[in-house]
Structure formats: C-alpha cells, structure tokens
Amino acid sequence: MRRFRTLLLLAACAAPALHAAAFDDAIKAVAAHQDAAALPLFEAALNAEPDSLPASNEYRKAVIRTQEYDRAVGFYEKLTAAHPDAAFAWLNFGYAYVDKIPAAGSITQMILANKALTNFSKSIERRKSWIALYTRGNSYLYWPKVFGRAPLGVADLEQAVAIARAEPRKIKVYVRSWVALGDGYWKTGQSEKAKATWGEGQQLFPGDPQLQARLARDGEELEKYLYDQLDPNKRVDTNLAPLYEE
C-alpha cells in the first residue's frame, strides 16, 4: 500500500514533465508541417495534463487541419472518462464537436451542436469559468429562433459579463462576452439592451472591430449582419490562444 502511494506521488510529479516533453515534441512536429505526427503527441500531453488549454487548443487546430474530427471526439471521450473532473477537458470535448460542424450535413450539424452543449454544461458543472459560460451562451445563439434557446444563451452570457466585470485586470478577450450578450439581447427582441451592451463594451474596449461593426449598423442591415455571423456553415473561432497568451 505504501509502495502504491509512492508510485502515485511519483506519477503526479512526473505528469507535468511528461506533458511538457510531449507538448514540445508536438509543437515541433506542427512547425515541421507534420500534423498527423503531432496528434498522438498532443494526446500524450493531454493525458498527462487533461486541463491544459494550450495543449487542447493546439491539438484541435491540428485536428481541423487534418480533418480528423472523429479521432478528436473519440480521444476526448476517453480523456473525460479518465479525468471526469477536468473542466477544460469537457470544454474542449465540446469544441471538438463544434469544430466538426462545418464539415457536416445540416441535420448532423444540429446533433453535433447539441452534443457540444452537453459537454459545455459538464464543464460549467465542474468550474463556472468565464470561458465555459461564454462558450455555452454563445452556442445557444446559433440555434434558430424556433428552438427557443436564445434566452438560455442570454442567461449564460450575463454571468460571463459579470465575471469579466469583476476581473480587476482588463483582459482583451473578455470583450467577446459583451459582443455575444448584445447579440443575445438582439436575438431575443431586446434591441435597445443589445445596443446598450455593445456600447458598454465599446467603452471598456475601445476600437474593438466586432462591436464597431454592430454599432455601425441598424435595422435590416444589422439583422443580415448578425444572421451572417451566426451562420452554422461558417467555422466558429474556437481558438483559445488569446485567453492564455494574454
């Protein structure tokens, strides 16, 4: 028993080292344009540190380039089963489905989007992070009005904005929660609140192009622009680098 505990301790200490080595090798492979070779290295890095945002982020980018969407889904399925408390593993499990959406047919898109939502919820259950709330809230907005999911998105995004407001440091990427919350208000018929939210975002993050584009439009032009932004056939930006690089 004592020996087993020692092994566990050793393994815990070794994990970050293992992660770092595998992650470095994976990044080198990507730099050498060997995405296929990088995938198992990223997976090894994530097995050692399942909550690593950089490893998941670079892994999914390589998956998009190689179009190995099903591999990523299968990998995160196993990863979250082995590490059920890893909130960011669940988050990236959701992203793995989102990444596949543009490559899928119109009905499969709905199935994938729904599976992504389930995993985002599991991430939030484990840790109420800004990124998970923003992501789930934003995902709800992609659903057509007929499904009535936009109010759920607004609720998540209000929480995300509250977290961002409470953050003493002004983190640039947080501007996205103001953008999305405004979109949510607009999609739920609260256009004045939408404008006010985008305006508040503009004050906090002057010059943000997403907010500028919205505030510069009105009426049908704004409607067309926002529908275009929420087109499920366009690839959603699931790049998390701005979050950890800042």
Partner 1 sequence: MAARPRAFPPGIEIPGYPRSSPPGLPRSVLSPGKGRSSVARDFNPGRRVRRPYISCVLLLFAACSLHAQAPKPSPPIRFEEISERAGARLTHHTRVFQGKKADVLGMFTSGGAAVAVGDFDGDGDDDLFVTDSGAGRPCHLLRNEFRPTGKLTFTDVAKEAGVAGGNDPKSIVADALWLDADNDGRRDLLVARFGTPILYRNLGNGKFQDVSKAAGLTKFANSIAAIAFDYDNDGRLDLLLGHYFPPIDLIALPTPRVLPNDLDNAANGGGVSLWRNVTAPGSSAVRFVEVTEKAGLSHHTGWTLDLGHGDLNNDGWQDLYLADDYGTDRLFFNNRDGTFRDATREALGGLDTKKGMNAEIADYDRDGWLDVYVTNITDEYMKECNMLWHNNGDGTFTDLSKETGTCNTLWGWGAKFGDFDGDGWEDLFVVDGLRSAGPENYIPVLLEMIITPDIDFTDINNWPAIGTMSWSGHQRKKLFRNLGTQAFREMAADAGVDNDLDGRGIGVADLDDDGRLDLYQTNANQASLLYRNVSAPAGHWIELRLTGTKSNRDAVGARATVRLGGAVLIRELNGGNGYAGQSTARLHFGLGTATRIDALEIRWPSGRIEKVTVPVDRITTIREGSGVVK
Contacting positions for partner 1 (CB under 8 A): 104-108, 110-111, 114-115, 144-148, 231-233
Nearer to partner 1, 145 or 172 (CB): 145
Minimum distance, C-beta of residue 86 to partner 1, in the bound complex (Å): 22
Minimum distance, C-beta of residue 146 to partner 1, in the bound complex (Å): 5
Nearer to partner 1, 57 or 80 (CB): 80
- Output the six-digit token pair for 139: 């995902």
Nearer to partner 1, 33 or 234 (CB): 234
Minimum distance, C-beta of residue 214 to partner 1, in the bound complex (Å): 21
What is the distance between the alpha carbons of residues 66 and 33, in angstroms, rounded to a whole number? 11
Minimum distance, C-beta of residue 233 to partner 1, in the bound complex (Å): 6
| Letter string b/e over residues 27-43, b meaning 16 or more CB atoms within 10 A of that residue's CB | bebbeeeebeebbebbb
What is the distance between the alpha carbons of residues 135 and 120, in angstroms, rounded to a whole number? 7
Nearer to partner 1, 71 or 115 (CB): 115
